[in-house]
Structure 1
């Protein structure tokens, strides 16, 4: 399932990324790494606030659909 479908307050583990290599690299540069836990903090019309490695990161819906979680 993609991170975009996780519920507010849920903690999930990143299992994969989808998309082109430059998108995957961008997500990794933002701190999203396979095997790491991420928590969906909040959601609004334009995107999400995600807690990754103790840091809050804002991403848009398109990027959230590229992050596969379990």
Structure 2
């Protein structure tokens, strides 16, 4: 699971420094919003072909670590 965190990037020049996926303008919070709205992973991937299944898993893993307080100082 730790290698999923390499997909999470924090860059002050992208999305105001929020955690994003692979330095794209896809904040983790947007992926969580899509999932919490009821979208299935397959639907998200169909609608946004630049994303990969592992990106969705990385967003979920990052959120879990964030809630538990176990976010590594360096991600991606």
- The TM-score normalised by the length of structure 1 is 0.34
Indicate the structure with greater strand content. Answer: 1
Indicate the structure with greater helix content. Answer: 2
Higher relative contact order (CA 8 A, sep 6+): 1
